[in-house]
Structure formats: C-alpha cells, structure tokens
C-alpha cells in the first residue's frame, strides 16, 4: 500500500472542510431568506432607515466605494498584482495573489445566482444616489470583492505583526463597504454580512489548496527573505 505524501499528511483537511461548510451554510441561509419573504420585509425597514439618514460626506464615500469595488474593481485587481510583484519580485507571488482575489469573489458571484434573492425595492427608498442594479442581491458583490481583496493581501504577507495590522485595517474597510451598500439602498444587511462570513472562509480554503498544490511552493511572501523565482 502506498504511503501518503508529505503534502497530503500536512494538508489541514479539517480546516478546509470547515471553510467549505461555512460557505455552504451562508448559501443555505440565503435560500432560507428567499423562502421566507417576511425576513426581507423586516430587513427593508433597516435599509430604509439607513438610507434616509444621509449626509454629503457619506454620500461621497458611498459613491466612491460603489465605483471602486464595482466598475473600478479591475484597476484594484491590477494594482494588487503590481504591488505584490513589486514587493516580492516574483511573478508566482503576484499570480497567487490574483487567484486569492478572483476565486473567492467568483464563488460569491455564483452563490448570488444560486440563491436568487431580489434587491430592496428602490421605490421604498428616500435618497437614491444610484439606479438600482439589475443583478441579484445575496451576497453583496461589492462587499465580497472588498473582503477578497483584504484576504488576498493578508494571505500574501509573511510577517505576523504586519498581517494582523493589515487584517484589522482591512476589516474596517470591509465593514465600511458593507455599510455603504445598505446606505445606498441596494442591499439588505444580511447580504453584506453573508459576504463578510463566506469570503474569508473561501479565501482560506483557496490558500490551502494553492499551498497544497506545490505550484507556489517557491513563491515568496511579502516581507519574507526567500528568493524570488521567475514564472515559467
């Protein structure tokens, strides 16, 4: 009988399965919400209250976030790849960061189609700054992208203290993005919370898979002393 490889023995199967179960639970909760319209009826009162409590500074922040993590997301992604490559001098590291950004966000986008929750009714809002998007609502795509971005950065850093600091700052950013989506009246609070829970779990699962594949075993992390290896 063949013996398991070192990579197989080291792979944290329990953590990986837990991450997948968390994401599945988030998707299942979305289906529960869709099947119980009274839940959205309760949440829409929260959306209306947040949307009505507007002021110019938050308007500007919300509109900036709407563009930055929506149409401007491609520029944010390119900036991430360039930054990681500049700091590590490794195309492998830059590629890993790109995958850690795109894969969790893509799964969240698929979850949105799977759940099929409609967005809050724009006619109920008192302060519409943008047209109601035609896409579905659960989970929030903008919040998912922001969470995936933060996770990609954190998982690209080698130094523990820097990783913790980045995680704290990133968590504040993700919370702000989530609030801005409710503020604009285009998402329910549970849409944004779903992204905040599912995406970090998906990001960790992706990071574990990428590490176990061996493809990126020589890709240095930001702040590490490992030599960069050209991508061939």
Is 221 a domain residue?
no
Average pLDDT along the chain: 90
Is 170 a domain residue?
yes
- SS3 string, 143-212, reads HHHHHHHHHHHHCCECCHHHHHHHHHHHHHHHHHHHHHHHHCCCCCHHHHHHHHHHHHHHHHHHHHHHHH
What is the spatial distance between Cα 3 and Cα 1, in angstroms, rounded to a whole number? 6
Residue 2: pLDDT over 90: no
pLDDT digits (tens, 9 = 90+) for 194-217: 999 999 999 999 999 998 888 887
pLDDT digits (tens, 9 = 90+) for 211-223: 888 888 778 888 8
As for how many domains the chain has, the answer is 1
Structural domain of residue 147, as residue ranges?
Answer: 12-213
Cα atoms in the Cβ-side hemisphere of radius 13 Å centred on 38: 0
Global pTM reads 0.90
Is 35 a domain residue?
yes
Is 118 a domain residue?
yes
Residues 6 or more apart whose CB falls under 8 angstroms from that of 47 comprise 120, 124, 125, 182, 185, 187, 188, 189
More confident residue, 115 or 229: 115
Is 207 a domain residue?
yes
Predicted pLDDT of residue 226: 53
Reduced DSSP (H G I as helix, E B as strand, rest coil) percent helix, strand, coil of the chain, to 5: 70, 0, 30
Is 121 a domain residue?
yes
Is 108 a domain residue?
yes
């Amino acid at each position: 009988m063949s013996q398991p490889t070192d990579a197989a023995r080291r792979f944290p199967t329990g953590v990986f399965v837990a991450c997948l179960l968390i994401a599945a639970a988030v998707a299942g909760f979305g289906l529960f919400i869709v099947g119980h319209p009274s839940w959205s009826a309760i949440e829409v009162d929260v959306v209306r209250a947040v949307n009505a409590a507007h002021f110019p500074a938050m308007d500007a922040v919300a509109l900036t976030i709407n563009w930055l993590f929506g149409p401007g997301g491609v520029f944010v992604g390119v900036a991430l790849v360039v930054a990681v490559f500049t700091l590590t001098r490794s195309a492998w590291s830059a590629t890993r960061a790109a995958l850690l950004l795109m894969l969790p966000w893509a799964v969240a986008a698929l979850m949105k189609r799977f759940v099929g929750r409609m967005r809050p009714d724009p006619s109920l809002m008192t302060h519409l700054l943008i047209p109601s998007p035609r896409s579905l609502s659960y989970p929030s795509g903008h919040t998912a992208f922001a969470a995936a971005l933060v996770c990609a950065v954190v998982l690209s850093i080698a130094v523990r203290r820097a990783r913790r600091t980045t995680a704290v700052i990133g968590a504040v950013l993700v919370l702000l993005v989530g609030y801005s989506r409710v503020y604009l009246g285009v998402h329910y609070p549970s849409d944004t919370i779903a992204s905040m829970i599912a995406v970090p779990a998906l990001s960790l699962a992706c990071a574990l898979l990428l590490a176990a594949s061996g493809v990126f075993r020589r890709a240095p992390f930001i702040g590490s002393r490992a030599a960069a290896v050209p991508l061939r």
